[in-house]
Amino acid sequence: MPAPFFAAMLPIVPDQKNVRKTGRRGICKTNRFMVHFIHSRTCAHSIEVTLLKIGIPRAFLYYRYHTLWETFFEELGVDFIVSPPTNKAILDAGSVCAIDEACLSMKIFLGHVDWLIGRCDKIFLPRAASMGRQGSVCMRLQAVYDVAANTFRDRGVELLDFDIDLRKNGGELENFLSLGRAAGKKKAQTLHAYLTARQADKAVATSELLHQRDMLQDRRCKILVVGHHYNVYDPYVGGPVLDCLRALGTVPILADIVDRREALEHCETISSTLPWAFNRELVGAIDIYRRYVDGIVLMSTFPCGPDSLVNEIVLRRVRGLPVLNLLIDGQEGTAGLETRLESFVDIIHFKREEDITLA
């Protein structure tokens, strides 16, 4: 667990009975906090330091940036806690907090924020304002901070704001420098933490991409799963889909694991007018992987507005491959889901056998 982030320091009188001498520094532990005694040439005084823990909801942008954020906080010495994987209790709590028109992903997000209340001092709520030249994002991702602040305004929760806005000068680096200033860290320390976190994130992305390229060489039936990172990697939403595909003897290929710059370029082949950056990456991934897979599963949560439009475009413009449009609505049972996937995989097997016969 990373070192604590010290939020406030107030002088107190040390209890000499509980001080363990360690040269020029002694440490006194109490039930509520840790006290550091700093000795100087002019005076000996004590400082009370209150431990501050930051909570990170395991939802939305977490699945895209978790390596970057967690490594950054660890390098800064900030203590943090991540909410557990999504389960029915978290979804139910979020459904109570959300409005009826909210999508399943937003309900899950609010459920994770609700779980963190009382377990940390501040909740880290990044929002994506703009992805720069890559395009815009869904309005729900832009409004997560305001939605949470309004929904839980009577719960006494403190929120830590962080904007992902690549239109600003300095881009991502400036955003992290601002976060470091908010944490009371020096610029050099924040810069080092950011560069380390960026390298870790790049290493993980490269490893995942190389692993998926190896999976493309598998001779078994390969299914391209197209869905947002916060849906595909969520064990409650995308987990049952991936587990079922593997149980059916197929190899799931994830559209989210792709060279993002290359995907944005390939998106033009299918649609040149999509405004949403994340959807453009997924559509570009379809064009990249289509020649390596036997079928496509479009996975989205009800009632996602951008996905409803993008999926219709894909269904009309991607030819030569079976495509299943799978809408996840949060129902407890998976029987219906498994039936649709089994039928879809059977169709692909029949098509492969037919192609072999004709050849």
- Per-residue pLDDT band at 353 (split at 50, 70, 90): confident
pLDDT over 70 at 356, yes or no: no
CA dist 320 to 186, 266, 272, 317, Å? 56, 18, 21, 10
pLDDT over 70 at 4, yes or no: no
Which CATH class for the 218-358 domain? alpha beta
| Lowest model confidence (mean pLDDT) among 92-101, 107-116, 127-136 | 127-136
Q: What is the pLDDT of residues 231-251, one digit of tens each?
A: 999 999 999 999 999 999 999
- Per-residue pLDDT band at 9 (split at 50, 70, 90): very low
CA–CA gap between residue 227 and residue 206 (Å, rounded): 20
pLDDT over 70 at 32, yes or no: no
CA dist 69 to 40, 214, 275, Å? 36, 28, 26
- Show the tokens assigned to 307: 């996905």
Domain boundaries, the chain: 5-51, 53-206, 218-358
- Per-residue pLDDT band at 335 (split at 50, 70, 90): confident
pLDDT at 249: 96
218-358 matches 53-206 in CATH topology: yes
Section 45-57 average pLDDT: 62
CA–CA gap between residue 40 and residue 75 (Å, rounded): 28
pLDDT at 33: 31
- Show the tokens assigned to 50: 């209150």
pLDDT over 70 at 14, yes or no: no
pLDDT at 169: 62
Section 217-237 average pLDDT: 96
Section 179-187 average pLDDT: 87
Q: Of 3-17, 46-60, 276-290, which has the strongest mean pLDDT?
A: 276-290
Instruction: List the one residue out of 269, 245, 241 whose CA is nearest residue 334.
Output: 241
pLDDT over 80 at 355, yes or no: no
CA–CA gap between residue 174 and residue 93 (Å, rounded): 35
Are 135 and 275 contacting, i.e. CB atoms less than 8 angstroms apart? Answer: yes
Q: What is the pLDDT of residues 197-210, one digit of tens each?
A: 999 999 999 999 99
Section 274-278 average pLDDT: 92
CA dist 200 to 9, 67, 207, Å? 32, 7, 11
Q: Tokens 């909740």 identify what position?
A: 123
229 class by beta-carbon count within 10 Å (0-12 exposed, 13-18 middle, 19+ buried): buried
Are 152 and 114 contacting, i.e. CB atoms less than 8 angstroms apart? Answer: yes
Q: Of 156-170, 180-194, 211-225, which has the strongest mean pLDDT?
A: 211-225
CA–CA gap between residue 241 and residue 236 (Å, rounded): 9
Instruction: List the one residue out of 5, 8, 34 whose CA is nearest residue 20.
Output: 34
DSSP H/E element including 11:
strand 5-12
Pairing between β-strand 20-22 and β-strand 5-12 as defined by DSSP bridges: unpaired
Q: Tokens 């003897």 identify what position?
A: 249
Q: Tokens 């799963």 identify what position?
A: 225
Please state the separation of Cα 268 from the chain's center in Å: 26
195 class by beta-carbon count within 10 Å (0-12 exposed, 13-18 middle, 19+ buried): middle
Pairing between β-strand 122-130 and β-strand 25-29 as defined by DSSP bridges: unpaired
Instruction: Say how many C-beta atoms besides its own lie within 10 A of residue 94's C-beta.
Output: 26
- What percent of the chain clears pLDDT 90, i.e. is strictly above it? 66
pLDDT at 334: 84
165 class by beta-carbon count within 10 Å (0-12 exposed, 13-18 middle, 19+ buried): middle
pLDDT at 357: 61
Section 321-340 average pLDDT: 88
Instruction: List the one residue out of 97, 121, 123, 100 whose CA is nearest residue 110.
Output: 97
CATH 2.40.30 assigned to 53-206: no
- Higher local confidence (pLDDT), 4 or 127: 127
Q: Is 351 helix (H, G, I), strand (E, B) or coil?
A: helix
